[in-house]
């Protein structure tokens, strides 16, 4: 009897290690996992037993699908905290409450994405992220808010110097550095912490074999993608890798795109840092990305990367791409630095077989000639080490002294000499000096009259005064407001009609919420005459308008646009070719060039469009436009497709109702090139004496200048010009060697030296920081 009792006492614990059979609520599948957990069964079983009833399905899902290594290592405390805060987020946020269980379990509740270390992250990220998204209405809005704010808040950025590729959120936040995978894991876990379904996606190798990449996917009715720490205000399904992803190949495993899954599937997520791992699962989602691919283009996709000489450090600098040899600008942008993904680069599509020049820096630090070949091409460029910025005391001293110059009398300015130390700053960092001098000019106590005009919303040129209305649309970009100047119809009609036309123009061009932001000016003609917008007093009036709004309204002078309809369109035809150096783009609607007025040759570097209805025959408009277009097309043929000018012929339309009310959106991407390498200038009158970097002190009708500058060589031809001036700076020339000049075939060498006083004088004259120069070369052409 005693022996039987002992046997029962010894055998009883073997039947139920922790609980009695009545406490076991989980399925046989879960039980099989517990058996395989070995010594860690007690932790997993404790998590199952302690999970609140409402959270039991989630806990069972995690234990059923967790990787083998997690079964033998995770603690009950880790799992219980993860489940508790996941369900807390589900109860708190509307998008999580409507999330179906399968999606919630796999893409919210899951504690891991790939094979990253299993650090507890959910409570910390919930505490950090919940306040950020408390006012969001949708999962998309919440994900966008996190991508825009989180990385700055936790001070984590992309770097190839990170500890390892598959870092946990804790590791990334401790070091401040992460790979694209680490950034994606952090963003996905942040989304999950506030109930947004999210998962990691990526490819082991792009089809073009330029490398691998990882990003995040967000569920909001369907799966969307976004680059981690690559917030795009325009929304999800955008990123530098869209083109590469569209070329993925579902039938080749290494070129496919995968979305990670905590739930076990038949597909393994390929980990480039751990290729033998078969315990991270995925879906092959290639089809969803390749469906976004456009028809195969005949163009060459070119990536530009810029490195500091002698190192492998990527740096961010302005890049301008021009066709060679005609130096026609194709595009401009910014190279990427080490904060961008290794495979992320400034990218453009170019014509195959054509020669191009990449000009890097502003002022230009280096130029590289290349030919666009193949389907995809990478151009790596080295530049000298960056020049040191001015110190705060240097900037303060420079601003103080140049402000004194601007507030001095004309006689004092003519004799002004700056200290050599200040002059030396131009060599040290011309761009920084230009910025400081512009600030000094804006804040100098010399603009009282202009300030009053801005307050009164009028602009004047002599006795001609034009009122205007101005409104802001969207948010001001970092570089200042783009400015759209719109001119109304009417002309030689009673004042009441011109006033009504002006009122219409105040709302004619529709607001464009899809762009970042801009200011819209509806300009009233200064009178009620036939040619109110196209006479010699108008270009200076427009220059004054741009100047006063650049000074007082923080307008970006490189983003000024001119447009007009009918009477205002005639104004655009008149103004654009006379002062193209003031605009990023010009558009004309329902108007035509007057005889001898539209100077097509001057449009070499200006985006210029003109829309005309095929039935708009009054005053010979359609015929004049066609004739002008023939002249433009000849210029384009003779100049290797320079002259970005386009006629928009509208079939079935007459003078009114042209489909141009969204032109703001079309024009917005353009940006002025204030220092083109080649200019062509036909003068028509004695009003305008500057044209980009060319000056004619005594302008007059019938004069002409063609000039090209490259590699410290200027080739110039003139007609009927007695004196010529070149307004130069570090964007066009190098000052450590002379300038070679060929003027009407006569060659000479000129020593060139930058001058701070010259920068200040030319800034006063032109009222535009990008049209100011640091050196003036005076030339005397031979007699015609």
Percent of the chain with pLDDT strictly greater than 70: 94
Q: Would you identify the CATH topology of the domain 300-338+345-383?
A: Immunoglobulin-like (2.60.40)
Could you give the CA distance from residue 177 to residue 173 in angstroms, rounded to a whole number?
A: 8
Q: Whose structure tokens read 């000039």?
A: 707
Q: What is the pLDDT of residue 4?
A: 40
Cβ atoms of 696 and 689 within 8 Å: the answer is yes
pLDDT in tens, 521-534: 999 999 999 999 99
pLDDT tens readout for residues 198-227? 999 999 998 888 889 999 999 999 999 999
Beta carbons of 753 and 773 less than 8 angstroms apart? no
Q: Between these two residues, 19 and 220, which has the higher pLDDT value? A: 220
Q: What is the CATH number of domain 115-290?
A: 3.10.620.30
CATH topology of domain 450-667: Rossmann fold (3.40.50)
**H helices present in 407-482, as ranges:** 410-414, 420-428, 430-443, 448-456
C-beta neighbour count of 276 within 10 angstroms: 5
> Where is 70: in which H helix or E strand?
helix 68-71
For residue 9, the model assigns a pLDDT of 35
Query: pTM of whole model > 0.85?
Result: no
State yes or no: pLDDT of 642 exceeds 90: no
Instruction: Round to whole Å and give the CA distance between 619 and 634.
Output: 25
Residue 662 CA, distance from chain mean position = 21
How do residues 439-479 score in pLDDT, each as one tens digit?
A: 999 999 999 999 999 999 999 999 999 999 999 999 999 88
Q: Which of 320-329, 552-561, 666-675 has the highest mean pLDDT?
A: 552-561
| Confidence band of 14 (pLDDT split at 50, 70, 90) | very low
Statement: residue 596 has pLDDT above 70: no
Q: How far apart are CA 362 and CA 360, in angstroms?
A: 7
The string of DSSP codes covering 91-145 is: HH-HHHHTS-HHHHIIIII-S-SSS------HHHHHHHHTTTTTT--SHHHHHHH
Whole-angstrom Cα distance, residue 81 to residue 114? 20
pLDDT score of 2 more than 80:
no
C-alpha to C-alpha distance for 621 and 629, rounded to whole angstroms: 12
pLDDT at 628 over 70: yes
What is the rounded average pLDDT of the residues 377-397? Answer: 87
Tell me: the pLDDT tens digits for 705-754?
999 999 899 999 999 999 999 999 998 999 999 999 999 999 999 999 99
Reported confidence tier of residue 327, pLDDT bands at 50, 70, 90: very low
Q: What is the dihedral of CA 356, 739, 779, 773, to 10 degrees?
A: 70
DSSP secondary structure string for all residues of 455-471: HHTEEEETTEEEEEEEE
| pLDDT tens per residue across span 152-180 | 999 999 888 888 999 999 999 999 999 99
Which residue did the predictor score with more confidence, 162 or 127? 127
Mean pLDDT of 315-339: 79
Q: Is residue 12 scored above 90 in pLDDT?
A: no
pLDDT mean across residues, the chain? 91
Does the structure show a pLDDT above 60 at 15? no
Least confident of 111-125, 370-384, 390-404, 556-570: 370-384
Is residue 148 pLDDT above 60, yes or no?
yes
pLDDT score recorded for residue 761: 98
Query: Nearest CA to 306 among 286, 269, 333?
Result: 333
Rounded Cα distance between 390 and 239, Å, is 35
pLDDT over 90 (residue 341): no
Q: How far apart are CA 348 and CA 578, in angstroms?
A: 31
- What's the chain's Rg over C-alpha atoms? 33
Looking at the chain, the whole-number percentage of residues with pLDDT higher than 90 is: 79
Q: What is the mean pLDDT of residues 230-253?
A: 90
Domain boundaries, the chain: 115-290, 300-338+345-383, 392-443, 450-667, 678-779
Q: What confidence category does residue 297 fall into, taking pLDDT thresholds of 50, 70 and 90?
A: low
| Spatial contact of 661 and 590, defined as CB atoms under 8 Å apart | no
In the block, residue with structure tokens 């060599």: 427
CB atoms within 10 A of CB 243: 18
Q: How high is the pLDDT of residue 784?
A: 56
* Whether pLDDT at 276 is above 50: yes
Q: Under a CB-based contact definition with an 8 Å cutoff, are residues 665 and 515 in contact?
A: yes
Cα–Cα distance list, 736 to 291, 380, 456, 750 (Å): 54, 26, 48, 12
Residue 240 has pLDDT above 90, yes or no: no
Omega within 30 of 0 (cis) for the link into 624? no
- Residue 355 pLDDT class (50, 70, 90 cuts): confident
Categorize the per-residue pLDDT at 267 as very low, low, confident or very high, splitting at 50, 70 and 90: very high
What is the pLDDT at residue 415?
Answer: 93
């Amino acid at each position: 009897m005693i022996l039987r009792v002992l046997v029962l006492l010894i055998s009883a614990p073997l039947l139920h290690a922790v609980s009695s059979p009545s406490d076991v609520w989980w399925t046989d599948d879960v039980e099989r996992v517990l058996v395989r957990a070995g010594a860690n069964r007690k932790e997993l079983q404790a998590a199952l037993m302690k999970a609140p009833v409402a959270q039991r399905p989630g806990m069972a899902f995690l234990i059923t699908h967790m990787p083998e290594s997690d079964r033998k290592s995770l603690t009950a405390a880790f799992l219980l905290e993860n489940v508790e805060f996941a369900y807390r987020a589900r109860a708190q946020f509307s998008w999580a409450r409507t999330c179906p269980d399968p999606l919630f379990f796999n893409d919210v509740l899951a504690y891991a994405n790939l094979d990253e270390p299993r650090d507890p992250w959910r409570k910390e990220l919930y505490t950090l992220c919940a306040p950020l998204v408390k006012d969001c209405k949708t999962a998309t809005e919440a994900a966008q808010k996190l991508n825009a704010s989180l990385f700055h808040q936790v001070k984590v950025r992309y770097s190839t110097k990170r500890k390892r590729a598959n870092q946990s959120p804790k590791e990334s936040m401790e070091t401040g550095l992460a790979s694209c995978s680490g950034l994606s894991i952090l963003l996905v876990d942040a989304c999950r912490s506030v109930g947004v379904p999210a998962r990691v996606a990526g490819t082991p190798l792009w089809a073009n074999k330029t490398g691998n990449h990882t990003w995040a996917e967000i569920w909001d009715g369907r799966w969307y993608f976004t680059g981690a720490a690559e917030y795009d205000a325009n929304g999800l399904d955008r990123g530098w890798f869209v083109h590469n992803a569209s070329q993925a190949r579902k039938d080749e495993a290494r070129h496919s795109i995968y979305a990670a899954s905590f739930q076990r599937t038949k597909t393994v997520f390929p980990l480039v840092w751990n290729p033998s791992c078969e315990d991270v699962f995925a879906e092959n989602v290639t089809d969803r990305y390749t469906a976004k691919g456009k028809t195969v283009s005949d163009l060459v996709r070119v990536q530009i990367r810029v490195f500091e000489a002698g190192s492998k450090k990527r740096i961010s600098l302005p890049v301008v791409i021009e066709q060679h040899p005609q130096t026609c600008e194709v595009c401009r942008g910014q190279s990427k630095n080490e904060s961008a993904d290794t495979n992320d680069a400034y990218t453009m599509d170019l014509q195959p077989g054509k020669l191009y020049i990449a000009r890097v820096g502003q002022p230009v630090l280096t130029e590289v000639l290349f030919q666009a070949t193949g389907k995809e091409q990478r151009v790596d460029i080295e530049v000298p080490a960056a020049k040191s910025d001015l110190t705060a005391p240097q900037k303060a001293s420079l601003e103080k002294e140049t402000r004194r110059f601007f507030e001095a009398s004309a006689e004092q300015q003519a004799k002004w000499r700056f200290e050599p130390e200040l002059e030396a700053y131009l060599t040290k960092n011309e761009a920084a000096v230009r910025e400081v001098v512009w600030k000094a000019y804006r804040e100098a106590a010399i603009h009282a009259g202009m300030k009053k005009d801005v307050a009164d919303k009028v602009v004047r040129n002599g006795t001609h005064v034009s009122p205007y209305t101005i409104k802001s649309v969207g948010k001001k970009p970092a570089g200042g407001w783009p400015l759209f100047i719109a001119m109304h119809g009417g002309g030689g009609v009673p004042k009441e009609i011109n006033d009504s036309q002006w009122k219409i123009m105040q709302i004619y061009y529709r607001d464009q919420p899809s762009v970042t932001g801009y200011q819209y000016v509806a300009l009233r003609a200064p009178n009620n005459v036939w040619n109110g917008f196209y006479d010699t007093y108008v270009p200076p009036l427009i220059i004054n308008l741009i100047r006063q709004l650049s000074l007082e309204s923080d307008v970006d002078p490189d983003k000024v646009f001119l447009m007009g309809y009918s009477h205002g369109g005639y104004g655009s035809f008149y103004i654009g070719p006379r002062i193209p150096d003031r605009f990023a783009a010009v558009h004309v609607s329902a108007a035509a060039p007057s005889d001898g007025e539209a100077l097509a040759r001057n449009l070499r570097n200006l985006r210029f469009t003109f829309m005309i209805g095929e039935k708009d025959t009054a005053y010979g408009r359609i015929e004049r436009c066609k004739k002008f277009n023939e002249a433009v097309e000849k210029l384009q043929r003779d100049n290797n497709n320079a002259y970005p000018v386009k006629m928009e012929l509208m079939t079935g339309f007459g003078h009114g109702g042209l489909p141009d009310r969204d032109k703001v959106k079309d024009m917005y991407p353009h940006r002025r090139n204030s220092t083109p390498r080649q200019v062509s200038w036909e003068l028509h009158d004695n009003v305008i004496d500057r044209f980009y970097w060319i000056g004619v002190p005594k302008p007059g009708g019938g004069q002409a200048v063609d000039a090209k500058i490259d590699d410290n060589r200027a080739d110039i031809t003139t007609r009927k010009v007695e004196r010529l001036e070149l307004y130069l700076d570090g964007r066009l020339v190098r000052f450590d060697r002379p300038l070679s000049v060929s003027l009407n075939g006569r060659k000479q060498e000129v020593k060139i030296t930058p001058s701070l006083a010259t920068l200040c004088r030319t800034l006063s004259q032109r009222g535009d920081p990008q049209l100011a120069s640091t050196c003036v070369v005076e030339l005397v052409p031979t007699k015609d």
